[in-house]
């Protein structure tokens, strides 16, 4: 079946550090891949997405590249800020007569000033 595995947290970084959160997936066919972010006290919101192999999604300084050969979609940011502290969810979606989205367990990021 379809599944998403992402690195366990929490991840604690100092401001301006480089961030990587690993995500790998298992899916049949060609899913779309997403990163959602959940800031404290809020629901999830889309951070970025990629819909086919070798696509790069980017937003707010974050990037992730759809790697079909390694079934990965790792999230990166070159210089994190305190305001990036949140929980990050990797997810995949396939149209199986209607979209169903599968989420990873989430990775909590703390950024210290």
Partner 1 sequence: DVKVTQSSRYLVKRTGEKVFLECVQDMDHENMFWYRQDPGLGLRLIYFSYDVKMKEKGDIPEGYSVSREKKERFSLILESASTNQTSMYLCASSLVVQGNTGELFFGEGSRLTVL
Which residues bind to partner 1, rule: CB under 8 A?
Answer: 4, 32, 34, 36, 41-46, 49, 51, 89, 93-95, 98-101, 103-106
CB of 79 to partner 1, least distance (A): 27
Q: What string of DSSP letters covers 63-80?
A: EEE-BTTTTB--EEESS-
Q: Which residues pair with 75 in a beta bridge?
A: 21, 64
Task: Give 86 or 104: the residue with its C-beta nearer to partner 1.
Answer: 104
CB of 110 to partner 1, least distance (A): 15
Task: Give 2 or 17: the residue with its C-beta nearer to partner 1.
Answer: 2
Token pair 């959602």: residue: 36
Tokens of 50: 């990629």
Cα 95 to Cα 1, 25, 101, distances in angstroms: 14, 16, 9
CB of 35 to partner 1, least distance (A): 12
């Amino acid at each position: 079946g379809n599944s998403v595995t992402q690195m366990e947290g929490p991840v604690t970084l100092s401001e301006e550090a480089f961030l990587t959160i690993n995500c790998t997936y298992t899916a049949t066919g060609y899913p779309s891949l997403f990163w959602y972010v959940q800031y404290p006290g809020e629901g999830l919101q889309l951070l970025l997405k990629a819909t086919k192999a070798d696509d790069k999604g980017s937003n707010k300084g974050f990037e992730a590249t759809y790697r079909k050969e390694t079934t990965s979609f790792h999230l990166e940011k070159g210089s994190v800020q305190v305001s990036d502290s949140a929980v990050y969810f990797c997810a995949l979606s396939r149209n199986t007569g209607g979209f169903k989205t599968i989420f990873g367990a989430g990775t909590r990021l703390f950024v210290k000033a």
